[in-house]
Amino acid sequence: MFGETPLKKRQFLEALLFLSLILVLAGFTAKKEYQNKSEPRSTAKNIIFMVPDGMGLADVTAARIFKNGSEGENLYLETLSTIGYQRTHAADSSATDSAAAASAWASGDKFRNGEISCLDNDQDSKCEPTPSPTILETAKDKGKSTGLVVTSTVTHATPAAFGAHVSSRYCENEIARQYIQITEVDVILGGGLSRFNSNGKQADECGTFGNFIADAENNGYQVVYTTKELENAVAKGSKKILGLFTPKGKTPELFRVNRAEQYSNEEPTLPQMTAAALKVLEKDKDGFFLLVEGSQIDWANHRNDIAYQVAETLAFDHAVQVVMDWINEKPSRRQHTFVIITSDHETGGFAINDTGEGSYKPGDLVDGAWATTRHTAGDVLIWSQGPGSEYLGRALDNTDIYKVMREVLK
């Protein structure tokens, strides 16, 4: 009896050792496989990041029905091959604002609502520690050209998180200053003229005011105010363009359609601005980073306005068409361009009611309803294609999108 125990114990220990070895080996193999999976299989020369601000999936349905009817074809954004979704919460709130969400994409961290790629932990209105470069700044460091194209002020929260670092989204004069004097974003197109020349007016929350249009001109920018001027600047081969087409946000698409004579030519549409930006940025042999935002889908949902929402969603989708046409012109563009389309959050809790009256025809506005006039905290979809998209067809956090872009950007 006594002699058996040590032997059994030894056998047991040997078995345990063997089992441990197998587990370690299995773990090692599993880890290696995981590492292999996380190693980039592809690299992207160009990134086109497209944001339908505040758009939920029901907004896509409503826009598709208006354009093509219940039985009709997909929108352009629905043709992208990879679909995933992301969590959107901010560091301090389950419902994010555009500042915290865009900062998560641009800088890969969780930010408080209102912060623009700037952690202000001691609330002294200064970033801390030294902010790490945004994905746009990283692209610039790699020799690429950069662009911001939006329908809000170009100094609004979403574009700002890519091209500036400030403790508050309301520092729009300071954001304008940083775009021109520090980041030197090559193509800046949208509304917000008043933010670039605030001389003689009130300073913003950061205490900044000044004439940054003069700075832009001295810094090699072609500054344009109309569609014609934008077209001329592109045709002339300008590499740096600052286009400010309205004092604040751009004219909603709906007004453009209904009051065509008033809004016909002076102000370019989102698709026209996107095409212009691509014509400038494509000249850089090192590639580019371009942000395109349909900023006012969010504003339409805040107002619980279905016609406004559908018009803005379709204008955004038309910009997607411009991007897809540009990519499909050359196989090399398709091979080297990573396209990401995703909202920062949903706004309004928009849903489409069951009317019990059969399907909709093209031109019909759906019978919709909103749960709130504020942002909601639900996850939002990500459509993508090209190098890097193989990591986005799954459940993600908004900070993961930064990590993927950082990983594949060549």
Contact residues: Zn ion, CB under 5 A: 298
Specify whether 125 is catalytic: no
Q: How far is the CB of 230 from Zn ion (least distance, A)?
A: 27
Judged by CB, which is closer to Zn ion: 82, or 96?
Answer: 96
Choosing from 81, 98, 103, 125, the catalytic residue is: 98
Q: Report d(CA 159, CA 179) in Å as an integer.
A: 10
Q: Report d(CA 319, CA 297) in Å as an integer.
A: 14
Burial string for 330-346 (b: 16+ CB within 10 Å, else e) reads eeebeebbbbbbbbbbb
**Helix (H) / strand (E) containing 211:** none
Question: Of all residues in this chain, which one has the CB nearest to Zn ion in the complex?
Answer: 298
Judged by CB, which is closer to Zn ion: 59, or 298?
Answer: 298
Whether residue 110 contacts residue 92, with contact meaning beta carbons closer than 8 Å, is answered with no
Q: How far is the CB of 299 from Zn ion (least distance, A)?
A: 7
* 403: nearest Cα among 106, 186, 173: 106
SS3 content of the chain, % helix, strand, coil (to 5): 45, 15, 40
- The sheet with strand 288-294 has its strands ordered as 222-224, 241-244, 187-191, 145-153, 288-294, 46-52, 337-342, 380-385, 82-87, 395-397
* 346: nearest Cα among 171, 111, 95: 95
Judged by CB, which is closer to Zn ion: 298, or 317?
Answer: 298
Q: How far is the CB of 296 from Zn ion (least distance, A)?
A: 10
Judged by CB, which is closer to Zn ion: 267, or 298?
Answer: 298
Q: How far is the CB of 191 from Zn ion (least distance, A)?
A: 16
Judged by CB, which is closer to Zn ion: 298, or 400?
Answer: 298
Q: How far is the CB of 102 from Zn ion (least distance, A)?
A: 12
Residue numbers annotated as active site: 98
